[in-house]
Structure 1
Amino acid sequence: MRNRLKRVLPAAVTALAAVATPAPAATTDVPEPVPHTAPADHATYVVTVREGVDPAEVAERVGVTPVHVYRTVLHGFSARLSPAQVEALREMPDVETVEEDRGATGFGTGTGTGF
C-alpha cells in the first residue's frame, strides 16, 4: 500500500498544483465596475415582507430600486434607504422587519476547532 501511495501522491500533487495555478490575465480590456452611489445618509437595509406580498412592489412604494429581491429562504429585498424610507417601511403593515445590513461572519475567529 505504501508503494502505491508513493506513486500516486506525486501525481495528485502535480494535478492539484495545475488546477490551483491562477490563469493568465485576459488580453481584452474589461471595463471597471461602476460603484453604486447613494447619498451619505443612505445605508443598506434588508427588508422582510409578509408571505403573499411582492417584495419588489413594496420597494417601489417607497421609491427605491432593490439591490436584491429575495423570494426563497428570505422573503423581502435589500436596498440603500434613507432614514425617511426606513421609517415609512417600518410603518407598513406588509413589512415584518427592516434591519441594517451588517454583513455576515463565520463561526468563531478561526482559533477553535469548529463544530
Structure 2
Amino acid sequence: MRTRVSRTLPAAAVVVLAALTAIPAPAAAAVREPVPYAAPVDRAAPVDHPTYIVTVRRDLDPADVARLVGVTPVHVYDHTLHGFAARLDPAQVAALRSLPGVEAVEEDAAASAG
C-alpha cells in the first residue's frame, strides 16, 4: 500500500508543531531594557541648586549617605555607578566631599564620547 506525501506531510507538520509548543522554553535571565538617560529633576528641590552625581564606596548604601546630609536623591545608581543624583546646595556639596566613603561629587552635565 502506497501512502501519499500530500496527506502525510500536513499531519507530520502538526505533530512537530505540537511537540515544539509542548517543550518549555529555557528560563532566560531577567534583562532590563536600557533606558535613555535624562538628567534627573527633583521638583521639590530649589531650581537654583544644580544637580550633582555623588559616587560612594560599594559597601555603603547611597540613600543612607544622602540622608546624612538631608538630601532626597532624585535617582539612586546601583549598577555601573554606585551613588545617587540630587540637587545640592554648596553646604551639602562640602559636607558630602568631607564624608569618608564618598568617592566623588560632580556637577551633572551632558557628556559625549569622542
Aligned-partner SS, 2:96: helix
**Aligned to 1:74, which of 72, 81, 89?**
81
Aligned-partner SS, 1:45: strand
Letter in structure 2 aligned against 1:97: A
**Aligned to 1:46, which of 53, 69, 79?**
53
**Aligned to 1:36, which of 43, 49, 67?**
43
Deviation at 1:95, TM superposition (A): 0.2
1:4-46 CA-partner distances (Å, limit 9, x unpaired): xxxxxxxxxxxxxxxxxxxxxxxxxxxxxxx725335411000
- State the superposition RMSD in angstroms: 2.0
Structure 1 residues 4-19: aligned runs within 5 Å: none
- Is 1:94 paired with 2:98? no
Larger radius of gyration: 2
Aligned residues: 74
Deviation at 1:51, TM superposition (A): 1.1
Equivalent in the alignment of 1:65: 72
Runs of 4+ in 1 over 3 A off after TM superposition: none
1:88-110 CA-partner distances (Å, limit 9, x unpaired): 00000110000000122354xxx
Give the unaligned 5+ runs of structure 1. 1-34, 108-115
8 Å CA contact 1:48, 1:95 repeated in 2: yes
Task: Give the Cα separation in 2 of the matches to 1:37 and 1:105.
Answer: 29
Normalization by structure 1: what TM-score? 0.58
Task: Give the Cα separation in 1 of the matches to 2:89 and 2:82.
Answer: 21
